[in-house]
Every structure is written in C-alpha cells, then in structure tokens.
Structure 1
Amino acid sequence: MKLRRAIAGDAPACAAIVARWIDATDWMPDGPSEAELEALMRDGFPRREAWVAESDGAIAGYLSMRAEEDHIVGLYADRPGHGTGRALIDRVKADRDRLQLNSHAPNAAAHRFYEREGFRITATDLPGEDGVPEIRMEWSR
C-alpha cells in the first residue's frame, strides 16, 4: 500500500468510496450526491491536509483533516478490515501528539476501530450536521 498526499484529481475515486458507504449504511440518511461529494473533495483536498492510500494502482481509502486543529474530518476505506484505515491513521499520528475526530453515534464498527488505534470517547450526544448524533474521540501520544 502506498500513501501520498491527496490531490484534486483523487476526488472522483474518494467520492465514490463515500457514496458506497452512505448507500450501504441503513442508519445514514441520504447525504450529498456523489457529484456533490466529488466537488467538495476537489475543492477541499488542495486546501486541507488529505492523504490517499493506493493499492494495486487504485485508491483504497482516504483521510482528510483540519490540520490546524488536529481534527480528522473524514476517514473512509473501500474495504474496511484490510489495513487501509490503520495505515492512514498511523501516517497522521507520526506528525502529531494528539488527534481528535467526530464519529456518527450509531457507527459501532468505527468506534471499535478507533479504540483499537488508541482513541477514547471524550464527548457524546453531539449534534451532527447530517442529523445523526455524533461522539467525539481523541488520541494523544
């Protein structure tokens, strides 16, 4: 697996990963369309710290963050459980002493992953922009 900084041209593949996740997640309300996600990513990747993981020449996942706040805003893997998320988290941990993120409250699988990576829940019942409650999780070295 190869990790590199995300560029605007990675937006279509990353948007497709998120759109598939939204479609496959029964508790997730309809979100932005794949085209809207792509536009957001195309604009955001050059302005934010964002990383992609490539496997066999294809994008396997991405991580995007507000670096000035050490806050991860998106982490999605095309095939969860294959090391993509861990590789991306390890990459951003390497340059920091702390990280934080919000996660959808119903997303128990993500919470288990983050806890394995050393994150701890620090806040619950936060309002989510998409109407789904969130929790905050933090990691420190």
Structure 2
Amino acid sequence: MVRKFEERDLEAVMELWLAGNLQAHSFIPEQYWKDVEEFVRSLLPGAALYVYEGETDCPDGFIGLNGDYIEGIFVRSEKRSGGIGTALLDFAKKGHSALALRVYQKNERAVDFYLKNGFRIREEGLDADTGEREYEMVWKGEGR
C-alpha cells in the first residue's frame, strides 16, 4: 500500500535513502552521501513523500516528488524486483500527466527500470555536485 509519509517514517526512510545511494552509486565516494545526509534529513519532512508499506508498519520503499519531478525512488534491498518501485511509480503517474527525473548513467539498473516503465531519455548532462554523467528522463501519460 502506498501512503503519505508521516514523521514516524523518518528514520526508516533515511535508512533506505542512505543504503540505496551507497548500493546503487558505488561509483560515487561513500563520504559524499554521508556528507549530505543531514541536509537531506532536514528536507524530508517538508517534501512530498509517499511510502510503500507492506506486511509490516515499516516502509519498504518511498518516492519523493517535487511537482512533476521525481526526486528519487528507493526500495529496501531485499525487496527489490518485487513490484514496489513500480507501485510507487504508478502512484506518481496517476497524479501527473508528465514526470521528469535525473538518473546517473552508470546506474544501469535504474535507467533500465525507467525505460521499461515508459520513460525516455530527453538529454544527457553532468551532475555538478558529483561530476558524474546523468540522463534527464521524461514520461508523458497516454494521449498527452
């Protein structure tokens, strides 16, 4: 079930955020993620976040939205490839006629996930903070 983020979710969401970034972005020094962790923690309570809650009260994944922009999708490592990311993405699609995001080119698993879910690469760029190449990807709903 996808539901709106609640303050009680903060620690679990931060755990998902850090673990997900460290696992998916091994090409970026671990210290980068640790250095921005407190900044991200301060932003989360005011963001448009939605969590996926499975059989327990602990979130197994979450999506962050900023208008039509997906800030990120994170899923607990042992729950990946089980439909949680797709459920979160489908939830976001229902409320939008178009969505955009940025993803590191080296994060091939994520790039493939978004391509399989109807996104296309609009342009290539460079993340100024990390120096890594990234794609801007977009999705437009049917008939739009």
TM-score (norm 2): 0.84
Find the counterpart in structure 1 of residue 71 from structure 2. Answer: 73
For structure 1, list consecutive stretches of 5 or more residues without a partner in the other structure.
Answer: none
Contact kept, 8 Å, 2:21 with 2:33, in 1: the verdict is no
The 5-angstrom pairing of residues 31-110 of structure 1 reads 31-33=32-34, 37=37, 40-41=40-41, 43-57=42-56, 58-67=58-67, 70-78=68-76, 79-110=79-110
For structure 2, list consecutive stretches of 5 or more residues without a partner in the other structure.
Answer: none
Contact kept, 8 Å, 2:22 with 2:33, in 1: the verdict is no
- In angstroms, what is the RMSD of aligned CA positions? 1.9
| Residues paired across the two proteins, number | 136
Structure ranking higher in helix proportion: 2
C-alpha displacement of 1:14 = 1.2
Q: Give the residue type in structure 1 aligned to 2:105.
A: A
Contact kept, 8 Å, 1:63 with 1:88, in 2: the verdict is yes
Matches of 1:26 and 1:32 in 2, distance apart? Answer: 11
Contact kept, 8 Å, 1:6 with 1:45, in 2: the verdict is no
After superposition, the Cα gap between the structure-2 partners of 1:45 and 1:8, relative to the gap in structure 1 and judged at 3 Å, is farther
Deviation larger for 53-62 or 7-16: 7-16
Spell out structure 1 runs of 4+ moving beyond 4 A: none
Identity of aligned residues (%): 24
For 2:46, what is the secondary structure of its paired residue?
Answer: coil
C-alpha displacement of 1:33 = 2.5
Matches of 2:84 and 2:39 in 1, distance apart? Answer: 23
Matches of 1:128 and 1:88 in 2, distance apart? Answer: 28
Find the counterpart in structure 2 of residue 17 from structure 1. Answer: 16
Contact kept, 8 Å, 1:102 with 1:137, in 2: the verdict is yes
Matches of 1:73 and 1:86 in 2, distance apart? Answer: 15
C-alpha displacement of 1:105 = 1.3
Contact kept, 8 Å, 1:127 with 1:134, in 2: the verdict is yes
Find the counterpart in structure 1 of residue 139 from structure 2. Answer: 139
Contact kept, 8 Å, 1:65 with 1:74, in 2: the verdict is yes
Contact kept, 8 Å, 2:61 with 2:73, in 1: the verdict is yes
Matches of 2:89 and 2:80 in 1, distance apart? Answer: 13
Matches of 1:39 and 1:46 in 2, distance apart? Answer: 12
